[in-house]
Amino acid sequence: MEVFRHDIVIVGGGGAGLRAAIAAVEADPKASVALVSKVYPMRSHTVSAEGGAAGVAAPDDSLEMHFKDTVKGSDFLADQDCVDYFVEQAPKELTLLEHWGCPWSRDEEGRVAVRAFGGMTAKRTWFAADKVGFHMLHTLFQTSMRYDRIVRYDEQFVTKLLVDGGVVKGVAALDVREGTMRAILGRAVILATGGAGKCFPFTTNGTIKTGDGMALAYRAGIALKDMEFVQYHPTGLPGTGILITEASRGEGGHVINAQGERFLVTRDYGVGQKAELGPRDMISRAIMQEIAAGRGIKGPYGDYVHLDLRHLGEAKIMERLPFVRTLSKTYAGVDPVSEPIPIRPVVHYMMGGIDTNIDGATALPGLYAAGETACVSMNGANRLGSNSLTECLVFGARAGIRAIEFARGASVGSEAPLLAQAQEEATRIEDLRGRRKGGEKIAQIRREMQKTMEEGCGVYREQASMHESVRVMAQLRGRVSDLQLEDASKVFNTEILTALELANMVDVAEAIAVAAAARRESRGAHACSDYKARNDQEFLHHSLVTFTPGGPHLDRKPVTITRFQPEERKY
Amino acid sequence: MSDVQKKKFVVTRFDPDKDEVPKTQEYTIPVRPDWKVLDALNYIKDEVDGTISHRWSCRMAVCGSCGMLVNGEPKLTCSTPLDEYGDEVHVAPLSNFPVIRDLVVDLEGFLDKFKSVKPWIVRAKEKAVEEGPCRQTPEELHAFKQFSMCINCMLCYAACPVVANVPEFLGPAAIALGHRYNLDSRDEGAAERNEVFRGEGTVYECSYANECSEVCPKNVDPAAAINQAKLLAVLDWMKSFVTPRRGGE
């Protein structure tokens, strides 16, 4: 087996992973960093983010306002020390990106422009038209090329964390191109693999978002935190789930029903004066209620409502939202200049993730996590739009610095037990290749998982359907070990990847369902039909799901509240 | 699906462990009228033949993974409507690249070329974070913005007649992205990049076929970038006789 040795190993080459890599090599001039990704970094899903990245910039704004908006948006489940650190670092990180060449949109004087976003009381979202994730990712990737000490392992799929003596010391990875396993060793590991939207049938997420890092940590015994909080973005295209950015509403777009009524203004959905600029959980619920009341529009992929940008005019749409126009034309057949865009809520983001502290450190010494795959936690029960791109920078950088500090003080120890584990992993993967004896098709299990998760853990959830999701996921976890694979070849065998991704998703989906069923209240994105009110007495805590051979184990963890006491969340 | 229609897909297959040369395989499958070419490939992979390999992710034309030849033309398959084609659709890997497997091509050569143009901000002295963002007017932003829109999908390399004959040619995307930094008001690295551009196999190889700009799915217009880069590289070279070199030293 090939063995590679570095100081730290970063898994994932999106916004958080690239930022962590750059931070690590800048913090330690001798650091050698492995950047392992199952795709070329510029394909990472950060690329699909559209609307912007939040950080206080305007004179009428303040860190305290950003803090309060974020905590309130989280329905008071965010750890307030993390939010404080986040809002303070946000402008610095966005400035760094500016120095690295990110083409931020500007005002006439050449200052960075900011736009309005949902749940934010001031304009503080930095943007590069409506391709912010794309520009941030490419800026980070291109900047990372400056550093020869960032050694990329592109198209390599990590299948296991290598742990010895209670400390993580590397990863086992499948080189997709060669079809061989390798050990990539380091004295600290950062997981930055993004979200898990593909656990659901209808999502803005790309096909690569299969919860890999969450599953890696979960199987190594690390708890997943607050997994029940799945964000539905209010405005996805029916059928494909393609994201139509919240910036559409930030720039003045209206959400209207079949009768052309702006129901966020005319009816009481809790968003008050904010109307279309309310937080995502509330707007998604409002749309689902309009559809349930028969005020949606019928379509081949289910009922939907409209996002109307016509009054913005062609010039503004072309300056601020050109990508939205292209996406609408290409994937919905409508030109938003002259027609409203069909939209409905769609799975977008996991508030939950690997349980870490403010440094991104997990309970396993040497293991760190950052970005969507982590739960530090700053998003609580509902993330505000445009906070997550900045989160990748702020906590990616912090994890990178902390991981290299940890690596400096850690000893390598004996490699033998690590290589033995990697060898075992190689045997497991080899057994899977072209495994004809199995009885289950990948696509069939994936469909069952996605359908069950949508029915059980959707915008609105019921106890009965959540428990049904728990039951089905436990069953699918067994069935996933009986997969039938057709492709016995070694070189670029994508079928084996898909099988491994499916196993990851089933684990993550089960954690989501278990955590959801246990939270008998409604908070943020978790809207439980049987328990409609928030219940701070019993549930003002994080939930933790830990893997055990007998099934998931549930636990809880206190929320850090520093100065903003929970109050009724009204806008 | 009331309006079920069938189409035949002729897909190029290649497994280096088994095949001397690429072969084709045919699949006739039901398609929906709103499908893109990628949807058909995914249907084949999921329901018909799990051994087919192709890259894809975002399916919204921004990650750049799914470039292939569709009926001989370089296309992003996730944004190419199936209804633009007849009953038979040919899907093959991008031309002008070594093929790894089936529809998957080797990008390593491009990444080396890309790195050689220093696609990052070069400054004699890096600005401190505490100094805040640089000022850049909308006009200054406009000067390079178009060339920053490249998604590295490689359609331009597949279309370029020069790449076909001179594989070492730096190529449209790498030149456009190097030029993008040369035009950025925050950058001071033009002298270094122009030296690269004046080397062998770079801007002067371009034969103005304009194929790159025609196939670009993001309207980056790499042909224009190459033209401008060529002119600036020459001017910079002439200036070097009159004034001492600027930049890193």
Task: Give mean pLDDT, residues A222-237.
Answer: 98
Nearest to B215 by CA among B161, B169, B178, B139: B161
pLDDT at residue B62 tops 50? yes
CB A325 within 8 A of CB A194: no
Q: What is the residue extent of each domain of chain A?
A: 234-346, 431-558
Whole-angstrom CA distances from B23 to A152, B18, B27, B46, B53 are 32, 11, 14, 21, 14
Same domain for B147 and B81, yes or no, is no
pLDDT more than 70, % of chain A? 100
Q: What's the average model confidence in pLDDT over A82-110?
A: 98
Mean pLDDT of the residues in chain A: 97
Asked if A206 lies within 8 A of B63 by C-beta distance, the reply is yes
Interchain pair B129, A99: CB under 8 A: yes
Taking 70 as the threshold, does the pLDDT of residue A460 lie above it? yes
Q: Do A110 and B184 touch (CB under 8 A)?
A: no
The last residue of one of the domains, among B105, B134, B151, is: B105
A519 vs A535: CA distance, rounded Å:
10
Place B243 in a pLDDT band, splitting at 50, 70 and 90.
low
- Terminal-to-terminal C-alpha distance of chain B: 66
- Choose among A191, A145, A168: nearest CA to A20: A191
DSSP assignment, residue B13?
Answer: E
* Candidates A249, A344, A446, A523; catalytic one: A249
Q: Are strands A460-461 and A527-528 parallel, antiparallel or unpaired?
A: parallel
Average pLDDT over residues B18-23: 97
Closest to A207 (Cβ–Cβ): which among B17, B56, B115? Answer: B56
**Residue A379 clears pLDDT 70, i.e. is over it:** yes
The rounded distance, in Å, linking the Cα atoms of A188 and A207 is: 28
Among the listed residues A457, A504, A473, the one whose alpha carbon sits nearest the alpha carbon of residue A231? A457
Q: Quick check: A305 pLDDT over 70?
A: yes
Distance CA B141, CA B107 (A): 29
Query: Does B245 have pLDDT greater than 60?
Result: no
Alpha carbon A356 to its chain centroid, in Å, reads 15
Q: Does domain A234-346 have CATH number 3.90.700.10?
A: yes
Of B46, B129, B135, the CB nearest to A110: B135
Q: Residue A227 gets which letter from DSSP? A: T
Q: What is the mean pLDDT of residues A95-99?
A: 98
The catalytic residue among A135, A182, A233, A325 is: A233
Search chain B and give the residue with CA nearest A327: B60
Burial A515-547 (b: 16+ CB within 10 A, else e): bbbebebbbbbbbbeebeebebeebbebbbbbb
What is the mean pLDDT of the segment spanning A444-455? 98
Sheet hosting strand A254-256, strand order edge to edge? A230-236, A341-350, A305-308, A254-256
What are the b/e assignments for A247-284, b being 16+ CB within 10 Å? Answer: bbbbbebbbbbbeebebbeeeebbbeebbbbbbbbbbb
Helices (H) and strands (E) in chain A, counts: 16, 23
- What are A132-170's pLDDT values in tens digits? 999 999 999 999 999 999 999 999 999 999 999 999 999
Whether B129 maps to a domain, the answer reads yes
- Using a pLDDT cut of 90, give the percent of chain A over it: 98
Rounded to an integer, what distance in angstroms lies between the CA atom of residue A300 and that of residue A318?
Answer: 29
Query: What CATH number did the domain enclosing B35 receive?
Result: 3.10.20.30
Q: Please compute Rg for chain A using Cα positions.
A: 22
Domain boundary (B55, B74, B105) is at: B105
For residue A437, the model assigns a pLDDT of: 83
Q: Is residue B16 within 8 angstroms of chain A, CB to CB? A: yes
Judging contacts by C-beta atoms under 8 Å, the chain A residues touching residue B119 are: 142, 145
Average pLDDT over residues B101-116: 97
Q: Which of A48, A96, A142 sits opposite B120 (nearest CB)?
A: A142
Residue B17 lies in a domain: yes
CATH of the domain at B150: 1.10.1060.10
d(CA A99, CA A523): 39
| Among the listed residues A266, A137, A124, the one whose alpha carbon sits nearest the alpha carbon of residue A194 | A137
Q: Say yes or no for a CB contact (<8 Å) between A494 and B133.
A: no
Residue B248, in any domain of the structure: no
Evaluate whether residue B136 is within a structural domain.
yes
- Do A234-346 and A431-558 have matching folds? no
Contacts of B149 in chain A (CB under 8 A): 131
Query: Is the confidence at residue B236, as pLDDT, over 90?
Result: no
| Integer CA distances (angstroms), A254 to A73, A312, A332, A513, in order | 21, 10, 18, 33
B142 touches chain A (CB under 8 A): no
What is the distance between the alpha carbons of residues A301 and B191, in angstroms, rounded to a whole number? 54
The DSSP letter of residue A538 is: H
Tell me the average pLDDT across A341-358.
98
B132 shares its domain with B237: yes
Q: What is the pLDDT of residue B178?
A: 98
Looking at residue A96, its amino acid is: L
Name every chain A residue with its beta carbon within 8 A of the beta carbon of B120. 100-101, 142-143, 145-146
Residue ranges with strand state E in A192-263: 224-225, 230-236, 254-256
Assess whether B77 and B190 both reside in one domain. Answer: no
In contact, A373 and A192? CB cutoff 8 Å: yes
- CB distance B62–A47 less than 8 Å? yes
Give residue B244's pLDDT. Answer: 59
Interchain CB contacts (distance < 8 Å): A and B? 151
Residues 6+ apart with CB under 8 A from A76: A380, A381, A536, A540, A559, A561, A564, A566, A567, A569
Q: Are residues B235 and B200 in the same domain?
A: yes
Q: Is residue B151 part of a domain?
A: yes
For residues A361-373, give the mean pLDDT: 98
pLDDT for position A366: 98
> Any idea of the CA torsion for A454, A243, B158, B231, to the nearest 10 degrees?
-160
Residue B70: which H helix or E strand, with range? strand B67-70
Confidence class of residue A218 from pLDDT cuts 50, 70 and 90?
A: very high
Residue in chain A nearest B149 by alpha carbon:
A135
Say whether both B98 and B117 belong to one domain. no
Query: pLDDT-based confidence at B1, cuts 50/70/90?
Result: very low
Is B29's Cβ below 8 Å from some Cβ in A? no
Question: In the 8-state DSSP scheme, what is residue B134?
Answer: P
B249 — pLDDT class (breaks 50, 70, 90): very low
A542 is known as an active-site residue: no
- E strand or H helix at A563, and its extent? none
Q: What is the mean pLDDT of residues A32-51?
A: 98
pLDDT of A369 strictly over 80 = yes
Instruction: Give the domain range for residue B29.
Output: 5-105
Two structure tokens written together for B64: 């750049």
CA distances from B197 to A141, A259, B108, B162, B176 (A): 22, 59, 20, 16, 11
B159 part of a folded domain:
yes
Average pLDDT over residues A254-282: 97
Domain co-membership, B97 together with B114 = no
- Predicted interface score ipTM higher than 0.90: yes
Q: What is the pLDDT of residues A533-548, one digit of tens each?
A: 999 999 999 999 999 9
The predicted structure's pLDDT at residue B239: 84
Say whether pLDDT at B246 is over 70.
no
Q: Is residue B200 pLDDT above 90, yes or no?
A: no
Residue A233 known to be catalytic: yes
Structural domain ending residue among the three candidates B76, B105, B134: B105
pLDDT per residue over B139-165, tens digit each? 999 999 999 999 999 999 999 999 999
Note whether B46 and B113 are same-domain residues. no
| Cβ proximity of A398 and A360 under 8 Å | yes
The DSSP line for A476-531 is HHHHGGGB-------TT-HHHHHHHHHHHHHHHHHHHHHHHHH--S-BTTBEETTB
Interface subset of B 191-210, CB within 8 angstroms of A: none
- Mutate one of A26, A145, A449 to test the B interface: name it (highest B CB count within 10 A): A145
The answer to whether the bond into A465 is cis (omega within 30° of 0) is: no
H or E element that contains A114: strand A114-115
Residue B70 shares a structural domain with residue B187: no
Domain assignment of residue B247, yes or no = no
AA letter at B212: C
My answer on whether B153 and B189 are in the same domain is yes
pLDDT higher than 60, residue A271: yes
Contact A39 B65 (CB under 8 A): yes
Number of domains forming the structure of chain B: 2
Instruction: Provide the 8-state DSSP code for B45.
Output: I
Distance, in angstroms, between B144 CA and closest chain A CA? 9
Q: Measure the CA–CA gap between A118 and A281, rounded to whole angstroms.
A: 10
B115 touches chain A (CB under 8 A): yes
Cβ–Cβ below 8 Å for B51 and A486? yes
Is A118 in contact with A388 (CB distance < 8 Å)? Answer: no
pLDDT at B247: 46
**Torsion sign, CA atoms A462, A276, A540, A387:** positive
Taking only residues 163 to 192 of chain B, the set having a beta carbon closer than 8 angstroms to any beta carbon of chain A reads 177, 181, 184, 186-187
pLDDT digits (tens, 9 = 90+) for A493-538: 999 999 999 999 999 999 999 999 999 999 999 999 999 999 999 9
Tell me, yes or no, whether B119 and B154 share the same domain.
Answer: yes
Q: Is the pLDDT of residue A294 over 60?
A: yes
Nearest to B100 among A135, A207, A491 (CB): A491
Q: Are residues B43 and B138 in the same domain?
A: no
Residues B64 and B114 in one domain: no
What is the pLDDT at residue B248? 41
- Mean pLDDT across the stretch A362-388? 98
What fold, for A431-558?
A: Methane Monooxygenase Hydroxylase; Chain G, domain 1 (1.20.58)
The reported pLDDT for the residue numbered A347 is: 98
Q: Return the pLDDT at B237.
A: 86
Q: Which of A139-148, A247-256, A435-444, A549-558 has the lowest mean pLDDT?
A: A435-444
